[in-house]
Structure 1
C-alpha cells in the first residue's frame, strides 16, 4: 500500500506539478487549496506526510502547521514547507510552528522525492 501525501497550495499549477512528481514516485496524492481546506482534507484522509505552502488565503501555512500540531493525532506527522520564501526568520517561524523541513520553489522533482523518502522513513 502506498503512502498518502497531502499537498496544500493555492496554486493549481503547483498542485499539478506536485501530483505529477509524487504520483510518478508511487505515492497517493490528495490536495487542498489553502490551510482551512487542508485541515478538512487532513482529518478525512489521514495522510502520511504533508507538503504545504506558506502564503495562502484564508489560513496561511504557519497557521495550518500550528493547527495540525495542536491535534494530538497529528503531532508526529512529517510536514514539509514548499515555498518561494527563503528568509531565515521565515524558516525559523515555520520550525517553531512545527515544520519538519523546508524546500524552496521551484523544486526539483528528484530532490523532492528524496526529501519525502527521508522524512517518511
Structure 2
C-alpha cells in the first residue's frame, strides 16, 4: 500500500472506480495479464494515478470482472491524468497488441467522493 500523493482538501478529491467486464473467463485472464505482465499498472504508477486497489470480482452477476480504483485531487486532475495516459507511448503500444484485443466487453466508471472520516 502506498499513500496517494494528493494535495487538495478532501472536499475536492475524487475517487474513480472502474469495472471491466470480459465476455469470457479466458478474456478476463487476458485482461488481468494486460494489467500485470503487460504492465498497465506500471503505466498508471509512472503517471501518478494514485491507485487505491486492483482486484477481480469474486461473485455476482457481473463476472468475469476486473475492478480498480484510483484517486485524484479533483476532476480536472483526473481528466489531465487520463489525457496523459491516452497519449503515453507505452499504453499505445500495449493497446495495439493483437493478443490483448477484445478482452473487455463492458466498462463502467463510477465517481465517488471521500467522507470526513476517509484516510485518503
Give the number of the structure whose alpha-carbon radius of gyration is greater.
Answer: 2
TM-score interval, smaller chain: under 0.3
Question: Which of structures 1 and 2 has the larger relative contact order (alpha carbons within 8 angstroms, sep 6+)?
Answer: 2
